[in-house]
Amino acid sequence: MGTLNIRLTVEEEAEIRQRMALAGEKQMGPHIKRVYFGNLKAHEGPIADLKRTGELSVYLLGELAKKAGVRARPDKHEDELDENDLHLRIMILLYLMVYESVDSTMRAWADRYLNKDALETFLKAGG
């Protein structure tokens, strides 16, 4: 196993140590490896946390909708509630809320993957 020596400014080291403390970690090497390599693994890091939070949010919103008698599409009977449609709509709404809250650089990056206008058209058209 190789060793990599890096030089950090006082400010950079302080920032890393602060993040380590927040994560409950004591050694810098393992912390840097987790942060750096964790971003490459879909089941670890901030993206995985966001995915889990999103899935939980969709589930809880779906449960609330069921209890309130909200149907995904008005032309369907309650027993034919299309949960996938409801989840998709909720995720689109969450995406659009985040989209509007970020700066133009992040919007440009997001536009490479999703068309905001198409998502809004989907919501307005009723699916």
Q: What is the DSSP string of the chain?
A: ---------HHHHHHHHHHHHHHT---HHHHHHHHHHHTT-TTSHHHHHHHHHHHHHHHHHHHHHHHHT--SSTTS-GGG--HHHHHHHHHHHHHHHHHHHS-HHHHHHHHTT--HHHHHHHHHHT-
In a domain, 57, yes or no: yes
Q: Do 119 and 71 sit in the same domain of this protein?
A: yes
pLDDT of 69 reads 63
- Tens digit of pLDDT for each residue in 60-110? 777 776 776 655 555 555 444 466 677 778 888 888 888 888 888 888 888
pTM: 0.39
From 18-27, 34-43, 58-67, 86-95, the region with the lowest mean pLDDT: 34-43
Are 53 and 111 members of one domain? Answer: yes
pLDDT given at position 78 = 47
**What spatial distance separates the first Cα and last Cα of the chain, rounded to whole Å?**
54
What sign results for the dihedral spanned by CA atoms 78, 80, 81, 85? negative
User: Are 103 and 70 in the same domain?
Assistant: yes
* pLDDT at residue 10, as a whole number: 92
Is the domain of 17 the same as that of 64? no
Same domain assignment for residues 30 and 77: no
Number of domains the chain is built from = 2
Region 23-38 average pLDDT: 78
85 and 24 within one domain: no
- Domain with 20 in it: 7-40
Residue 2 lies in a domain: no
Does 7 score more than 70 pLDDT? yes
- Residues 6 or more apart whose CB falls under 8 angstroms from that of 62 comprise 83, 86, 87, 90
Q: Where does the pLDDT of residue 5 fall: very low under 50, low under 70, confident under 90, or very high at 90 and above? A: confident
- Indicate whether 1 belongs to any domain: no
